[in-house]
């Protein structure tokens, strides 16, 4: 009787990026999922008064990277996974504080929720500082390297520029003609499905 040798199917890792809210269907062959998350950058603060100090830039979004394993930290019932991508915080008006960036998250049945935090809000410039001009620029989150892959973060805005996605904080205001703060860049989520 002939003998047949079973050859297992090998699946290469598949990466799915999310720049807006969505859902992810877990492939049947996936034994591991990597979640790489970053929240939105914070919005910049406004100028205190004409000729006084500019508002501070918004903070950078926070990275979070984690791996979950089938039948240990997720199950077949966890599909589909809900993905929420944090928005960038709004820049402030004149003499105001910016808004914080939104958190990015993944959540599902029979699985913990994992989150990348949003950046902090920029604050209004302080009264009594003469000379005008812009305050500190928005924060830059830098890049995140996880399991040998580098994920690129955004850049904080400076001198009347918004933060770029993902996760860059917006510039603060700098007096006439730019008294208001600028928005932060939105977050992002990557899901990597792996067999091994």
Task: Extract long-range pairs of 176-179: CB within 8 Å, 24+ residues apart.
Answer: 176/50, 178/47, 178/134, 179/46, 179/47, 179/50, 179/93, 179/94, 179/95
Residue 111 has pLDDT above 50, yes or no: yes
CA torsion angle 126 54 48 40 (round to 10):
-100
43-102 pLDDT per residue, tens: 999 987 656 678 999 999 999 999 999 999 999 999 999 999 999 999 998 889 999 999
**Which carries the bigger pLDDT value, residue 88 or residue 128?**
88
Where would I find the beta strands (DSSP E) of 25-161? 32-38, 63-69, 81-84, 104-108, 111-116, 144-146, 149-151
Residue 129's closest CA among 18, 16, 50?
Answer: 50
Residue 190's closest CA among 80, 74, 66?
Answer: 66
Q: Tell me the pTM.
A: 0.91
Q: What is the pLDDT of residue 3?
A: 61
Q: What is the pLDDT of residue 130?
A: 47
- Terminal C-alpha separation, the chain: 34
């Amino acid at each position: 009787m002939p003998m047949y040798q079973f050859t297992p199917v090998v699946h290469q890792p598949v990466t799915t990026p999310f720049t807006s809210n969505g859902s992810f269907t877990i492939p049947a062959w996936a034994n591991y999922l990597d979640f790489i998350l970053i929240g939105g950058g914070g919005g910049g603060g406004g100028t205190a008064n004409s000729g006084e100090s500019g508002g501070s830039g918004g903070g950078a979004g926070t990275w979070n990277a984690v791996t979950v394993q089938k039948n240990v930290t997720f199950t077949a019932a966890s599909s589909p996974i809900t993905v929420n991508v944090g928005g960038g915080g709004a820049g402030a008006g004149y003499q105001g504080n910016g808004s914080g960036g939104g958190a990015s998250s993944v959540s599902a049945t029979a699985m913990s929720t994992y989150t990348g935090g949003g950046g902090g809000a920029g604050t209004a410039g302080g009264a009594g500082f003469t000379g005008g001009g812009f305050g500190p620029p928005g924060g830059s989150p830098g890049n995140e390297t996880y399991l040998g892959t580098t994920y690129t973060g955004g850049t904080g805005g400076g001198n009347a520029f918004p933060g770029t996605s993902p996760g860059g904080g917006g510039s603060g205001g700098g007096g006439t003609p730019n008294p208001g703060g600028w928005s932060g860049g939105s977050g992002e989520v990557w899901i990597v499905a792996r067999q091994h």
